[in-house]
Amino acid sequence: MSYVQSLKAKECGAEYPIEPRTICDVDFSPVEVQYDYEGMKGKVTHESIEAGPLSLWRYKDLLPIEGEPKTGFNSGWTPLIKADRLAKKLGVDELYIKDDSANYPSYSYKDRVVAVAVTKAIEFGFDTVGCASTGNLAHSVAAHAAIAGLDAFVMVPHDLEEGKIVGTRAFGPKLVKIKGNYDDVNRLCAQIADKYGWAIVNVNLRPYYTEGAKTHGFEIAEQMGWQLPKHTVVPVAGGTILPKIWKGYQEFIKLGLVEDNKPAMYGAQADGCNPIAKAVEAGEELFHPQKPNTIAKSIAIGNPADGYYVIQHIKESGGYAASASDPEIISAIRLLAETEGIFTEPAGGTTLACAIKLIESGKIPRDEPICVCITGNGLKTIEAMEGQFEHVEPIPAKLGDFDALMDAMNEADEPAPAIAGS
């Protein structure tokens, strides 16, 4: 049974039926899927969710599909790590990492939004899906299109990391490289959606697509034992995730699934592309668009379409925002990998680096539960780690040479590992 009711304009409240639509015809504000929450009470419960599949579809009742999922059968339900070693290093009591670097099939949080969008595209009768992407979305759309048997067109900025492009092309989509940055690709896709009538997942299927992001927050709540972290740090690119994690938390509160502990939301950006962080820090409602210049290419969106709502929800929740430099981002990637065994891409490094800044400035207290949202995998952005590791000179396969190496390491004050059994 579906609890989906209608689409409603975020600003003027005009209502529309469930159809491919991005915006309201009256004021062009975004439209949001509306659900019958009253009807869900008593039916959508801890038990009903726990009885669902080990994927994002366990939250199907709160997702905008009418029938059965057509893809994403193993997407979502990613690990929530209780990061005790990292917590100790940072001097905080309770720290969690929500790890979408492990998402399936394309190792980023995008598999959540795409699983929903592709299922909806099929419900609407489309046979081709497309997207404008900084890489993770193209990869995910290509993979899910392959799983669901649809054609795919992916549009990317020409200088995207190789790891993301090769990974995407393996699934067989048509790839279009655009000479420009993500904002240029976006602008072009808006025109393409107008002209070609394709299901461009982050354009004319946007209201359905964005709902998938709620599941990142739903899982945090369920995996923390049906409670919300007091502080949630989220990367901000186009502005989808933060408002949707907030919406997801509020839906769980409304349905009585978690207690309302007044969770606060924090936006994380790179110094080289921080329109939202700057607006929040200045106490402004509207952001000034920027030309991105950062190693964190997946969040290099200088003109975030939902930026206004990110700022609103941060303020509403009593949260804040921060931005981090490229060196800080890389250090955070290494810190997370070395303390918790999670290798994330620069967007994830950005989120951790900003969480650290917010903790050190006192914006996030050290004695309340904190969740850092990791959205992508470091293996897809190997270029970002260039120059980080010293050259290792090979040695002959002789014990004597190895002994000499150990002696050299000891002299250099690097502790040699203990010999087992001694």
**Spatial distance between the Cα atoms of 232 and 370, rounded to a whole number of angstroms:** 6
Beta bridge pairs of residue 288: none
- Nearest CA to 282 out of 270, 274, 290 is that of 274
The string of DSSP letters for 332-367 reads HHHHHHHHHS--B-HHHHHHHHHHHHHHHTTSS-TT
69-99 burial code (b ≥16 CB/10 A, e <16) = bbbbbbbbbbebbebeebbeebebebbbbbb
Residue 28 near other proteins by CB under 8 A: yes
Residue 131 near other proteins by CB under 8 A: yes
Site for other proteins in 48-107 (CB under 8 A): none
Residue 388 near other proteins by CB under 8 A: no
Instruction: Work out how close the CB of 11 gets to other proteins at its nearest, in angstroms, rounded to a whole number.
Output: 8
Binding-site member from 211, 306, 326, 340 for other proteins (CB under 8 A) = 306
Q: Would you call 402 helix, strand, or coil by DSSP?
A: helix
Q: Which positions ≥6 away from 363 have C-beta within 8 Å?
A: 266, 320, 322
**Spatial distance between the Cα atoms of 342 and 328, rounded to a whole number of angstroms:** 17
Query: Token match 């670097």: residue?
Result: 101
Instruction: Work out how close the CB of 192 gets to other proteins at its nearest, in angstroms, rounded to a whole number.
Output: 10
Nearer to other proteins, 131 or 224 (CB): 131
CB of 80 within 8 A of CB of 98? yes
Instruction: Work out how close the CB of 176 gets to other proteins at its nearest, in angstroms, rounded to a whole number.
Output: 14
Nearer to other proteins, 3 or 208 (CB): 208
Binding-site member from 7, 62, 137, 241 for other proteins (CB under 8 A) = 137
Residue 127 near other proteins by CB under 8 A: no
Residue 19 near other proteins by CB under 8 A: no
Residue 300 near other proteins by CB under 8 A: no
Instruction: Work out how close the CB of 137 gets to other proteins at its nearest, in angstroms, rounded to a whole number.
Output: 5
Binding-site member from 30, 69, 217, 272 for other proteins (CB under 8 A) = 30
Instruction: Work out how close the CB of 37 gets to other proteins at its nearest, in angstroms, rounded to a whole number.
Output: 27
Binding-site member from 18, 147, 160, 189 for other proteins (CB under 8 A) = 189
Residue 22 near other proteins by CB under 8 A: yes
**Spatial distance between the Cα atoms of 113 and 31, rounded to a whole number of angstroms:** 16
Residue 153 near other proteins by CB under 8 A: no
Beta bridge pairs of residue 270: 273, 324
Q: Number of residues interacting with other proteins: please give it, by CB under 8 A.
A: 41
Beta bridge pairs of residue 16: 7
Residue 191 near other proteins by CB under 8 A: yes
Q: Sheet of 320-324: strands edge to edge?
A: 80-82, 95-99, 370-374, 231-235, 264-270, 320-324
Residue 200, token pair as written in the block:
């461009």
Stretch of 21-29, 50-58, 170-178, 367-375 contacting other proteins, by CB under 8 A: 21-29
Nearer to other proteins, 78 or 186 (CB): 186
**Spatial distance between the Cα atoms of 270 and 158, rounded to a whole number of angstroms:** 21
Residue 132 near other proteins by CB under 8 A: yes
**Spatial distance between the Cα atoms of 24 and 27, rounded to a whole number of angstroms:** 6
The 168-187 site mask, x for binding other proteins (CB under 8 A), equals ------------x-xxx-xx
Binding-site member from 193, 221, 258, 358 for other proteins (CB under 8 A) = 193
The 212-251 site mask, x for binding other proteins (CB under 8 A), equals -------------------------xxxx-----------
Instruction: Work out how close the CB of 329 gets to other proteins at its nearest, in angstroms, rounded to a whole number.
Output: 20
Nearer to other proteins, 289 or 318 (CB): 289
Residue 209, token pair as written in the block:
């697509």
Nearer to other proteins, 289 or 365 (CB): 289
Residue 361 near other proteins by CB under 8 A: no
Residue 288 near other proteins by CB under 8 A: yes
**Spatial distance between the Cα atoms of 63 and 313, rounded to a whole number of angstroms:** 21
E strand spans, 179-328: 199-200, 231-235, 264-270, 320-324
Residue 284 near other proteins by CB under 8 A: no
Q: Sheet of 151-157: strands edge to edge?
A: 174-178, 151-157, 128-132, 199-200
Residues forming contacts to other proteins in the complex (CB under 8 A) are 22-23, 25, 27-30, 131-134, 137, 180, 182-184, 186-187, 189-191, 193-194, 200, 202-203, 206, 237-240, 286, 288-289, 291, 301, 303-306, 308
